[in-house]
Structures are given as structure tokens and as C-alpha cells.
Structure 1
Amino acid sequence: MAEDVPQVTEDFPHMANDVAQRSEDVPQMTTDVDANVAKDLGRDGAEGSHADEGFPGGPRDPSVLTSFAEHVAHAIWTGHERPELKLVSHGRKVALIGRPVPAIEGLVVATGLSPLIECSVVTDDPGLISAFVERWHRETNTFHLPVGDLAITLDDVSSLLHLPISGAFHSFEALSVDEVVFLLMEFLEVSGEEARAETSATNVHVVHLEAFRDLGQSGGYAWGAVALVHMYDQLDEASWTTTRQIGGYLTLLQCWIYEHFLSVHQCVTDDAYEETSPHASRWLTTKAHMKGITGAPYRAHCDAFTVTDVCWFPYSDHRGVRGFELISSFQGQLRWGPTVVAVRPKRVLCQFGYIQSIPPSPVSVSLSYDDIDDRWMHFMHFSDHVVAVGDLCVVLGQVSADYMNWFFQISHPFMIPTQAGDQPRHAPAPDHEDYMQPDIPQVSVAFDPPLTCSGKIVCGFNV
């Protein structure tokens, strides 16, 4: 069944700031870039270069992907491979530790973060994650694939992790070393000597402890939005040619890929999974599957994607447990402390059950933290910041007549050249002849979904 989506609006830029105590899960920018890559980047950024007239393999029109010359996709296309990303995930540590003792678990419940206890994927898949990072662009905050834009949305976070996606953002300031030591002594009950020894370690921003000073208040934060802010921020950094690692809660990214691209992964579902649990907890991975699988096979697989390879509505059978929330269609800026990202549902309308049309170009608008908070907390009163209702998809993944041609102009849908000197390819013609309609489960849901003309949705492609 189609997922009910209300209304879309403005696009806003990414504005990233750092705070004291850089963490282990923040990507490391390195300077050991291949000399040829650096030479190419300098040439591509010069006046009259690719930055003005387009790139081999795309984009033909670089007005949207303005930093493509520094993007890892450009380096890969020109034969300058970077090492596979190092995955830094504290979620794995949570999974290995297991459930906390009951007294501590009760405290975690009060924060709203308890669903994370049961939904961390233990074994990461660096090849798969690297392949998708190569397709992420900070200008749009979406993955660019041969079928168009796709993104991790607030609804994905809600369904996969069961974290609250409504609530307040948190403001905090950078800390001095003395303030960090005091917080560690107060919250973790360690000695001053132990605290000072840890200030040179790279684990978690100590400043985040401020969010847990009052556990009752902690339960009022929009933790799902926080997860999305951190994931977008990490993807932004990891998409640069010079970055060698990615952090964040990688269970979110990996399970999002599993849910939407059933044919690309090497995982299995957990037979013990119960539908009342977070959707992410149904996925299992094994080292036997993951070991030795590099990004190259995944790249080729992703280059061959058609609309029928995408699971557009993976949570249909989960709606009785986790219904669609209106705030999932919010368009604008999200933040956690000084880290700000933009969510742009207008670019991924197919994921909301609507026909994709050409979205507006990303707009550079600088908002104060107070304005960001106000638009978020009162979004119901700002119709300009909610996805506008469009035409419902009669077939899954349906796009307007001119969207795909436009997308192939401003993007690079393919990562691998078919031959030396390969130029940008054109959008494929639709082909419905070999497609068989899948069974769409008819389930009770926690909202009133929009109906197509037949009351059901089938898959297909229309350009």
C-alpha cells in the first residue's frame, strides 16, 4: 500500500561546525592524496575547465553538483582509486556488550534511546557501504543512482531504529579542557587524573554528556533527527576523495541499503525477528559473507540498477507498529548542537508514494539556530516547510516525463566507464515488457494511506 505523505518546500545548505573533543567516529581527512589526483583536482577547478563545461561520464551540467571535482566519484571515474573506507562504528560495540542490567536499562528507556539496544548490526560490510558513499552528494544530501535520487529519510530512521523523530534539538558550546574534566568527573565519577588522561583519547564528544544531565529532559529530544544529522554529516565528509574513514551509526546506513536494495547485499534475515521490534533488528550479517567483498562488485551492481531493483516501500508490513508521521516530510534544516544538515524530500518523492518531478535547485540560505529550531518545532504552522502533495504513483518509482533526462544531465548515474574516454550516457528508455507485478501485502496500518485509482500500487517505470 502507498505510504501517506502530506506536503514539500525550501532547500537549505549544509553548515558544519566542529566542537571540542573530536571523536573516533569522525572521518579523518588525510593529505596522502595521489599526486595525479591532486593535479586533476586543480585542473578541474580552474576557470574554463570541467567545473564550467561538465565532466566525462557526467555531470554534463555541473550547476547542481558544484564540488564534483573534489568528489570521490570523479577520482574513481578517472582511474584514481582510493582505499576502501575504514568503518568506525560504536554501534558494533553496543551489540557486542549486549543488554544492560535492568537498573541501567530503565535509565536508558527514560532517554528514548532504548530501541538501540536490540538493533545493532554486528558485522559491517565495508564494500557495500563504500559503494553507496561514492554516490552521496552533499549538495543534494541524496544518493545518485541510475534510477534517480534516493535518501535516508526521517521515516527510515523511525522505522529502522524506533527512535523518536519529533522533539527538541540540543544547543551546546565547545568546552575547554577544564570543563571536559569536570563533566567527566561529575557524570562518570572518575578521578581528575583519569579524566585528564582521557581528554587526549578519541571516542565520543564529551560535550554530548550535557544532553544527559537531566534524563527526563533527554527523553524530549528528537533522537531520530539527531541520528540523521550525524549520518548525513559523516556521509558528506566520506564522499571527499581525501577522506579515508566513515563514522556514525553505521547500522542505520547499512540496514537502509538492505531494506531498499534486496538484490545487492549478502545478508540474511533473522528468523527470531518479531514485527514489534525495530526493523533494523531483522537483519543479520556474517563474516563469511562479508570478508573479501570489495566495493568494485557492488559498483557494477549499482550501475545496473533499474527501478524494479528498488524496494520503494519496505515498511508496509510494519505500519501497524510504526505508522508514518507527518514530520517525516519536513523539508529544511535539522541540527544537533552546531552541526546542521538539510533534508530535501522534494528530491525523493517516489519514496513517499508520489511521482517524481524535477526538484528546485538547492538554495543557499543561512539561518540562525533559533530559526532552525522554530521552523522545526512549529512546522505544522509553516506549510512552506512540508512536502507538497503531488500526483500519486500509479506504479512504484514513477517519474515525470522530463525528470530522468534532467537527472542524467546534472548527475553521474554510473561509476564505471564502459570504455576508455566514455562520455555521459543518456537516460534509458522505459521497458515494462518483462516486468511481473509482485504481491503487495494488504495490511492494517496506523494511518489512512492515499489510494491510487485501483486502491493498490504496482511496480514499474515511466519516463
Structure 2
Amino acid sequence: MRVRRRRGVVDRTMQYHSRMIPYLCSNGFYGISRVAFFSLDWALITAFVERWRPETHTFHMHCGECTITLQDVQVQIGLPIEGMPVTGTTDAYYADVCERLLGRTPGGDDIVGCKLKVDWLERNVPAIDDESDEESVQRYIRSYILQLIGGCLFVDKSNRFVHLMFLPLLEDFQVAGQYSWGSACLAYLYRELCRGSRAGAHEVACASILVQLWA
């Protein structure tokens, strides 16, 4: 199966600065930000997808049934598993939301419905340094997290977009840290594994890094 993700692009294009660490710790994304990029074994992931059963959300192995749990999410990729559910709206005017939280307004076909092209973030949110003000640092971190979301945790099948319903949740980093990002990631993983296990499916878009680490 074709495994969709953009994590390698994120690591190549986004500078990781020490000023990001306190914010990433407070909003719950520090763990996943420190998981180094590595090549995925598509054959291994395909083998597990073939053994996934949507009726029970478990892998059916010769030794019995097993599955990825919330504890695995917390231990393997460091996402918080306790707190408020991750929910968002799809009726906001997202151009204004981007202007307010990212400092730039996407134009043209950069926004399609409720989704933003990930490469727009790479081109329009400037890197930070020791002299950057706090607002610029926070905007950069929001861009970085959106790329993690769109490229690793909640991957779009096109591999080009990230859903903007996540952006308002990152407005206040202290509040963002109170969401159960791990639960949302696992639910999305289960859904995509169910889709990938259907006859005729040729690709899977989910937190595939979690599947391989767990395997």
C-alpha cells in the first residue's frame, strides 16, 4: 500500500529553535516533535493493514488479537491522552483566522474549502531566531504544529492539505495542552485502518509512524 505522510518535508523546511520548546511542552506536542524522521516500511504496514478487522478494531494475528492503545500513543509519540475532546468548526471564515493566528492571509487556491495547502505554511510563515518577538514565535509554532498535524498525525489523502479546524484550537497554548490529542489521533488511525482494509484500497493516510513504532 502507498503510505501517505509529509514528515520528512516538515523536518527539512522547518527550523527547530530552542525557543519553541516551552510552548511545545505546554500545548502537548513536544513529544511528537522530538520523534526523529525515519523511513517507513510500507510492506510491514501493509501486512498489518491486511490483518486489521473493522468489527473489533484489532489486528488478527496467528497468536491472537492485539491493537494499538491510548497508552501506546502516549508512550510512543508523546501525545496527551487525557483532557477535552478535540473538536472544531467548519463554518469559520478561515482566511481571517489565518491572518489573526499566522500573520498572513492565504489567497487564491491556497485554501480549498476548510483546508489549507501545507506548502503555503512553508512559504509564508518566516523562521524565528533569538531576536524574534513572542508573537512571531507563537505564529511559527502554530505553523509547525499544523504541518505536524497535516503531515504526520491527521494526514490528508492528497498529502498536500491540512484541515484548518485545528488552527483555532492552537490560539492559546495553555488551553491547547488541555485537549486529548492522543485520543483524536488514535480515533483517526482506527478510521483510516478501517478504510485501508477494504477490498480495492491502495493507500493509507494516518499516523503510520505510530503503526511502525508499535509493530
In the superposition, the TM-score normalised over structure 1's length comes to 0.34
Q: Is the 8 A contact 1:120 1:251 kept in 2?
A: no
Q: 1:98 to 1:189 in 2, by over 3 A?
A: closer
**2:161 is matched with which residue?**
203
**1:255 is matched with which residue?**
213
Shift of 1:97: 5.0
Q: How far apart, in 2, do the equivalents of 1:103 and 1:174 lie?
A: 32
| Number of residue pairs the alignment of both structures matches | 169
Q: Is the 8 A contact 2:86 2:184 kept in 1?
A: no
More helix by share: 2
Question: Could you say what secondary structure the match of 1:87 adopts?
Answer: strand
Query: Which of residues 90, 95, 98 in structure 2 aligns to 1:184?
Result: 98
**1:118 is matched with which residue?**
34
Q: Is the 8 A contact 1:112 1:164 kept in 2?
A: yes
Query: Which of residues 85, 88, 103 in structure 2 aligns to 1:172?
Result: 88
- Report Cα offsets for 1:160-187 as digits up to 9, x if no partner: 12222111112222236xx122222222
Instruction: Answer yes or no: is 1:162 the counterpart of 2:73.
Output: no
Q: 1:251 to 1:98 in 2, by over 3 A?
A: farther
**1:136 is matched with which residue?**
52
Instruction: Answer yes or no: is 1:229 the counterpart of 2:187.
Output: yes
Q: Is the 8 A contact 2:86 2:181 kept in 1?
A: no
Task: Give matches, 1:280-429, under 5 Å.
Answer: none
In the superposition, the TM-score normalised over structure 2's length comes to 0.71
Alignment RMSD (CA, Å): 2.0
Shift of 1:138: 1.4
Question: Could you say what secondary structure the match of 1:197 adopts?
Answer: coil
Q: Is the 8 A contact 2:86 2:180 kept in 1?
A: no
- Report Cα offsets for 1:132-175 as digits up to 9, x if no partner: 10111211101111111110011111221222211111222223
Task: Give matches, 1:140-155, under 5 Å.
Answer: 140-155=56-71
User: What one-letter code is carried by the residue in structure 1 that aligns with 2:95?
Assistant: V
The structure that has the greater radius of gyration is: 1
Instruction: Answer yes or no: is 1:220 the counterpart of 2:178.
Output: yes
User: What one-letter code is carried by the residue in structure 2 that aligns with 1:228?
Assistant: L
Q: How far apart, in 2, do the equivalents of 1:166 and 1:182 lie?
A: 31
User: What one-letter code is carried by the residue in structure 1 that aligns with 2:202?
Assistant: R
Shift of 1:114: 0.4
Q: Structure 1 unaligned runs (5+)?
A: 1-84, 258-463
**1:40 is matched with which residue?**
none
Question: Could you say what secondary structure the match of 1:204 adopts?
Answer: strand
More strand by share: 2
Question: Could you say what secondary structure the match of 2:60 adopts?
Answer: strand
- Report Cα offsets for 1:287-326 as digits up to 9, x if no partner: xxxxxxxxxxxxxxxxxxxxxxxxxxxxxxxxxxxxxxxx
Q: Is the 8 A contact 1:142 1:151 kept in 2?
A: yes
Structure showing greater relative contact order (alpha-carbon pairs closer than 8 Å, 6 or more residues apart): 2
Shift of 1:127: 0.8
